[in-house]
Structures are given as C-alpha cells and as structure tokens.
A = this chain, B = another copy of it.
C-alpha cells in the first residue's frame, strides 16, 4: 500500500471514506475469533459503484482487499491477514424494499440481521435465520458464511433464503445472480456458489431474500435427562414423529454444572443433559404439539419436562444457553470453539468420545448446540494458557472422531483462517484442487480476501 495507492483511493472515494489512523484501523483488525491483524487502510463504502472502484484499483495496483460486514465471524474470515484494505460494507445498511405481495426483501449487505427481521415482522413477514449474533451481525456476512442458528432446524440456513445477489467480482465488475422468484433453474447456481464462499469469490453488495409469514406464536419446553444418550434418543423420536420444532438445543452435563444454577427449576444436580425445544405457529396447534412432544420426552426417560409458558421464563432458559458460553470464557484463560456437525444419530457417539480427549490432554471440554440438526458447538479450554498447545492437539483428535462418524469440521462458522489447516482432513485433494481453480477463475490475482479457506 504505497502513498500513491492511498491517494488514488482517497480521490476515488472521498477522504471521509478512507480510514488511516491506527486507532481507527484497529477495530477492523479482528472479528469474532481471537485473531488479529491490523489493516493498512479501511474503506467504508456507501454504494456498489464504490465497491467496483475499490476492486478496480485493487486489480490495477494488486493490493489485498478483505470484505467485512459487521465483523462477528467466528473463523477469522474478516481478519486482513495480508494487510491491505479492509472494505467495510457497514454503511450500506439500507433495507431497500419489503414486498409483502411477493414475500421478498431487497437489502444492502450491511443491514443488521435484527433490523431486517424486525422490518419484516412489521409487515407480517419472517426472515427465519437466527445466528447467535443476530443483533450485531450483518445480513451480507450471514450470506458470506451461510450462517445458521437454532431455527435452521425448521427453516434452513441463510442459503435457503438468498434468492439472488448483486455482487462485485475481484475485477471490479458487478453482476446480478439468481432470481426474485421462489424457484429458478436458469444456468449454474452462482448465487449459492457465492453464498458461503466467505468473501473470497465476490463482494456481496445487495441481496434478494425470501420471506415467509411470521409465525403468530411460540412455545418452549425444557426437558432434563439423566444421560445424553436418552436425550438424543428423544430428539430422534420427536423428528421421526413428524414434528419440526424451530429449535432443539442441548446442553451437556459439563455445561449444566457451569450454568445450571441459573435455571428456574430444581433437580438440575441429577441431570446429565438438558433439551430446550421450541415450536412456532398457530397458537392452538402448537399448544397441542408441545404437549405431544413433552409426552415423547417423558416416555423417552426424561427426569422432568417443564413448559415455559411465558416470555420471561423463556428468556431465562435462553439466558442459560447464552451464559454457558460467557461463563466458559470468563473461567478459562482461552477457549477454542469448534463447530462441527455429525449425522443426526451420531451426537451421542461424538459426545461419548469427549471425556477421553479431556483426560488425555488434561482439558475441560463443553458440548452444546443444535441437537436437532447434529451441529454441536464444542468449547475446549485448559486451566492455564500453557494448555493452548494441548488444546490444539485435542482439536485434531476431536475432528478425526467427527470425520470418522461421517461428520463435517464446520456446521456454521466456516473455515476462514482458523480452520484452514484442517480442510484437507475433510476434502479430498481433487475436491480442493477444483475449489482452488474456482477461486483462481474468479480472482486470478488472488486479491480478494487472500489466504482464507485454503491451506
């Protein structure tokens, strides 16, 4: 990043769009991972034309550009590891249209996910994806990482709601992909190739999103089990009985010991697993459905099944889920967050392997997450920072177990920087070669979010 380049960028975008001082650059050096690398320059864009301009200059002068939504990614995908420019889409935060007749939304990439959800709700519509960071993350970042969340069990991930994109290729050319319709099979699915590509193929600037009707109500149930095995058997019975809850979360015994005191219920000390199950829809129907699900849990060996009939109690339950993460972070000098997924029937087998790993590397390992879709968050900590190396080794061991069970090394967070070294554990060399070739096709100079995804 020579002075010449900086001048050209300032001229092209206006001086206010270009951040240069160390204190203004620093917040753009990290994301929701522990990683940090300060950018040389931050460019805050307001329009697609400005994104084109930045990429055209990047192509001409060959400087790296790291696109960034609101910087909540867990895998380091927005960390500018090669320096250069961080391209912040945060100012592109307009909801361009909510169309109730067509049940779609048109948004800019920097829109806060919660803002979209609320704007849709105000028109009776629902944008279902609900990543944990929904009140701090951007819809463009959600698309770049194909973000999930508890509701994905019923509603699918971000990918299922992105009908079309406007995006800027590394060359600086903007294209439109996809449709505004529910269905479409015209040519290759560029939309879903770019969704989940973690900002390495194109900069997403605008999106056409599918909306559905907002469910009028929601009911929550919590069930304690003596053991994880019986809890997971209930999950499968609930699914096989045709129920599709909008959340089926679990906490393992370690998580319960850490945050169970917050639960507004007794008997938690006997519990080896907890399920939080939610259904949404017509109030009468879900009242019956949650009851049926409760019966399945009871017959499946739950120690206790409790309803959370009001919003306050519901909030308390989810607070426990949230507190698990926070307390782990508070109590440990560092945390490695894994985000694996296994086939539905394999969660127990996975969790049964964790105590052995704990013992072998002298660590504390917590498991919780989306029991209904096999996506388990595994948090690995040691009592002191000197355990970091042991924890890293344990990660390798856990990922091997995961892959041995037919699983995947990332269910929600993506590869970014953090999981790059593990990619070849899951994907064959021919698959990786093909993916690299696609990267090279979109970005022959390797200027867009370089050094991400591929080792």
Taking CB atoms, residues of chain B closer than 8 Å to A289 are 282, 285
Pairs of residues from A and B, 10 with the lowest C-beta to C-beta distance, nearest first: A101-B345, A182-B373, A102-B343, A183-B411, A181-B341, A213-B242, A184-B408, A192-B192, A180-B406, A179-B408
With both chains docked as a complex, state the minimum distance between the C-beta of A169 and any C-beta of chain B, in angstroms: 7
Number of copies: 2
Taking CB atoms, residues of chain B closer than 8 Å to A284 are 288
Give which listed residue, B183, B192, B412, B423, contacts A183 with CB less than 8 A.
B412
Give which listed residue, B187, B242, B288, B343, contacts A415 with CB less than 8 A.
B187
Taking CB atoms, residues of chain B closer than 8 Å to A152 are 183
A241 and B212 CA atoms in complex are apart in Å by: 10
A327 in the interface (beta carbon within 8 A): no
Taking CB atoms, residues of chain B closer than 8 Å to A146 are 185, 189
In the complex, per-residue mask of A394-427: 1 if CB is within 8 Å of any chain B CB, else 0: 0000000000001111111111000000010011
- Residues of A whose CB lies within 8 Å of any CB of B are 99-104, 124, 145-146, 148, 152-153, 156-157, 159-160, 169, 173-177, 179-190, 192-193, 195-197, 201, 212-216, 236, 239-244, 281-282, 284-285, 288-289, 341-346, 370, 373-375, 406-415, 423, 426-428, 430-432, 434-435, 437-439, 441-442, 453-454
Instruction: Establish whether residues A175 and B434, one from each chain, have CB atoms under 8 Å apart when the complex forms.
Output: yes
Given contacts A188-B193, A192-B193, 7 further A-B contacts (CB under 8 A): A103-B240, A181-B375, A186-B426, A187-B454, A188-B197, A188-B438, A282-B289
With both chains docked as a complex, state the minimum distance between the C-beta of A429 and any C-beta of chain B, in angstroms: 9
Residue of B nearest to A184 (CB): B408
Instruction: Establish whether residues B99 and A183, one from each chain, have CB atoms under 8 Å apart when the complex forms.
Output: no
A195 and B192 CA atoms in complex are apart in Å by: 11
With both chains docked as a complex, state the minimum distance between the C-beta of A107 and any C-beta of chain B, in angstroms: 16
With both chains docked as a complex, state the minimum distance between the C-beta of A422 and any C-beta of chain B, in angstroms: 9
Taking CB atoms, residues of chain B closer than 8 Å to A189 are 146, 159, 192-193, 195-197
A188, A412, A434 interface centre (most CB from chain B within 10 Å): A188
Instruction: Establish whether residues A435 and B187, one from each chain, have CB atoms under 8 Å apart when the complex forms.
Output: yes
Instruction: Establish whether residues B431 and A441, one from each chain, have CB atoms under 8 Å apart when the complex forms.
Output: no
A432 and B173 CA atoms in complex are apart in Å by: 13
Taking CB atoms, residues of chain B closer than 8 Å to A345 are 99, 101-103
Taking CB atoms, residues of chain B closer than 8 Å to A99 are 343, 345
With both chains docked as a complex, state the minimum distance between the C-beta of A105 and any C-beta of chain B, in angstroms: 12
Taking CB atoms, residues of chain B closer than 8 Å to A159 are 189, 192
Instruction: Establish whether residues A242 and B406, one from each chain, have CB atoms under 8 Å apart when the complex forms.
Output: no
With both chains docked as a complex, state the minimum distance between the C-beta of A197 and any C-beta of chain B, in angstroms: 6
Instruction: Establish whether residues B148 and A183, one from each chain, have CB atoms under 8 Å apart when the complex forms.
Output: yes
Instruction: Establish whether residues A441 and B437, one from each chain, have CB atoms under 8 Å apart when the complex forms.
Output: yes
Instruction: Establish whether residues A185 and B412, one from each chain, have CB atoms under 8 Å apart when the complex forms.
Output: yes
A431 and B153 CA atoms in complex are apart in Å by: 33
Taking CB atoms, residues of chain B closer than 8 Å to A441 are 437-438, 441
Taking CB atoms, residues of chain B closer than 8 Å to A214 are 242
Instruction: Establish whether residues A344 and B103, one from each chain, have CB atoms under 8 Å apart when the complex forms.
Output: yes
17 contacts between A and B (CB under 8 A): A99-B343, A104-B343, A124-B240, A153-B182, A157-B183, A176-B431, A181-B343, A182-B341, A182-B373, A183-B341, A183-B370, A183-B412, A188-B196, A189-B196, A192-B192, A213-B239, A438-B438
